Amino acid sequence: MTHAQHIRVVTYNIHQARGWDGVTRPDRIITVLKEVDADIIALQEVLLSQVFLIKKALGMGGVAFNLTRRMRHDLYGNVCLTRLPLTGHASYDLTCKTFVPRGCLRADVSHGAASLHVFNVHLGLRYRERIQQVRMLREILDPRAMTGPRLLLGDFNEWFNGAASRLLRREFGDPCGRRRSLRTHPSPLPVFPLDRIYHDPAVTLEHVAVHRSQVARAASDHLPTYADLRLNLS
């Protein structure tokens, strides 16, 4: 017998909550996330102090933080928040020598009988750097070490079909379940499809879109990408 579980996920580079106007306002990020209303939230470029504000405002029960850099007055990295049970998490270093520190955060969540492994990444700005990071990711994403389907989402910093994107397509197929790109950067008038969602075949994307509200266009230099998923279980 086959049955399904339905959830919504979102990936969003919040740029430390610094908006297009140069003003840092976590309240705008919170408004955008409330508009999207996702069960699982993957954020990049977030300060740890902002994580607690977002968690409290959204009433999220589970949170996992991946430290990539120590700032003067705060910690900086990637975070996953979930209203579903968080059963485990892990952090991985994707830093390539001489380049800015980068990381990958794994969050394991359960939904009824389903188990989902969510990987939140923020790749580098350089072409060869991203290739090396995706090669590292392929070891981290080894399906033999997991009990459920994988979801890979984040800011991939690749605006064309480069080698890093081709490697990920071999693993997962087209990002966001479609060939046509979803443009997310810069937020006022998006041109580049930097923010993506990849998934295993056991996950069906029923709907995927970029959230383009008035607040979202001002809150960060990226727009959030969200997807409604169906987990196919037997």
Q: Is the pLDDT of residue 2 over 70?
A: no
Q: Please give the distance of CA 197 from its chain centroid, rounded to a whole number.
A: 7
DSSP H helices in 78-182: 127-140, 163-172
Q: Which residues contact 183 (CB under 8 A, 6 or more apart)?
A: 190, 191, 192, 193, 210
Ordered by start, the domain boundaries in the chain are 3-233
pLDDT at 1 over 70: no
- Identify the pLDDT of residue 234: 52
> Whole-angstrom Cα distance, residue 70 to residue 73?
8
- Give the model's pLDDT for residue 179: 64
- Write down the mean pLDDT value for the chain: 93
Q: What is the pTM of this model?
A: 0.95
pLDDT tens track for 163-178: 999 999 999 999 988 7
pLDDT at 206 over 70: yes
Q: What is the mean pLDDT of residues 16-40?
A: 97
Residues 6+ apart with CB under 8 A from 195: 11, 12, 13, 153, 154, 155, 156, 182, 184, 185, 222, 223, 224, 225
- Tell me what the mean pLDDT of segment 76-91 comes to: 96
116-153, pLDDT tens digit by residue?
999 999 999 999 999 999 999 999 999 988 989 999 99
Q: What average pLDDT does this structure show over 50-78?
A: 95
**pLDDT for 4 beyond 90:** no
Count the Cβ atoms, other than its own, within 10 Å of residue 177.
18
| Mean pLDDT in residue range 38-61 | 97
Residue 115, C-beta contacts closer than 8 angstroms, at least 6 positions apart: 87, 108, 109, 147, 148
Q: What percent of the chain stands above pLDDT 70?
A: 97
Residue 8 CA to residue 30 CA, distance in Å, equals 17
Mean pLDDT in residue range 203-216:
95
Structure tokens at 121: 């990444």
Q: Report the pLDDT value the prediction gives residue 64, as an integer from 0 to 100.
A: 98
* Average pLDDT of span 1-28: 89
Please report how the helices 48-58 and 26-36 are oriented relative to each other, as an axis angle in degrees rounded to 10: 40
CATH architecture, domain defined by 3-233: 4-Layer Sandwich (3.60)
Q: Do β-strands 3-13 and 40-47 pair in parallel, antiparallel, or remain unpaired?
A: parallel
pLDDT at position 112, please? 76
What Cα–Cα distance (Å) separates residue 133 from each residue in 126, 128, 155, 169?
10, 9, 13, 15
